[in-house]
Amino acid sequence: MKKKEKLTYGVIGLGRFGKALAVTLAESDNDVIVMDQEESTIREMRNYTDYAFITSDLSMEALREAGIHNCDVVIVCIGEKVDVSVLTTMSVIEMGVPRVIAKALSPEQGAVLRKLGAEVVYPERDMALRLGRRLLSGNFLDSISLDHSVEIRQIQVPEKLTGKTVEQIQLRQKHGLNIIAIESGMDTTIEVRPDYQLKRDDILVVIGKTGNINIFEESL
């Protein structure tokens, strides 16, 4: 069997989504370059990758100095600052990175990013909008595959986990998964607290290795 080629990833912006994504990619034995302006976040990320850079400057020159142009895949996770998101995505595409994925918080922002040539993901909003389809079809919402081994997937909270807190279910410790959002009815929470008590029909948005997600689902 041909061995899977090792890829180099770049993650720009380490909010909840970006950080969970970067950790998951690094733990899957990939080379990961991360960039963020928060020193404490970068210091923590150095436990996972040697290529962690503190910067508030996302100019073409700064991106090149970090080695972003050498990446096979770059994910721009700066959805909140639309102008920075667009300019950074444009710079990464102009550098010739083969695959560029950009986080968006609105259809308008996504349309601009898509026109630039990026793949667009909506880690919080897009999955929430598809909730109705899942309820009608009885199936899980679409997953987002980042490569052959890592994906983002939505999982409905089963009866056996109802009433337990996020801390009690120990998703990361037991299954190596990170919760990046919880959808409850029409509300989506991205700042998930350890003491959040899971309710029946809540939707967990998790990121992790595909195999780990499958094992977790089989245990439910």
Tens digit of pLDDT for each residue in 16-38?
889 989 998 998 888 999 999 99
Structure tokens at 32: 């990961």
Residues of the chain with CATH 3.30.70.1450: 126-219
Residues of the chain with CATH 3.40.50.720: 8-121
Q: What is the pLDDT along the chain (220 residues), one digit of tens a residue?
A: 344 567 899 999 999 889 989 998 998 888 999 999 999 999 999 999 999 999 989 999 999 999 999 999 999 999 788 999 999 999 999 999 999 999 998 889 999 999 999 999 887 655 555 555 444 444 444 566 666 678 888 888 988 899 999 999 999 999 999 998 898 887 888 888 999 999 988 999 899 988 899 888 888 7
pLDDT the model gives residue 96: 96
How many angstroms separate the Cα of 127 from the Cα of each of 3, 43, 90, 115? Answer: 33, 31, 25, 21
Q: What is the pTM of this model?
A: 0.64
pLDDT the model gives residue 138: 47
> The tokens 């069997």 sit on which residue?
1
pLDDT the model gives residue 136: 44
CATH superfamily of 8-121: NAD(P)-binding Rossmann-like Domain (3.40.50.720)
Encode pLDDT of 137-169 as tens digits: 444 445 666 666 788 888 889 888 999 999 999
Q: Which CATH architecture has domain 126-219?
A: 2-Layer Sandwich (3.30)
Alpha-helical (H) ranges within 32-81 are 39-45, 60-66
SS3 content of the chain, % helix, strand, coil (to 5): 40, 25, 35
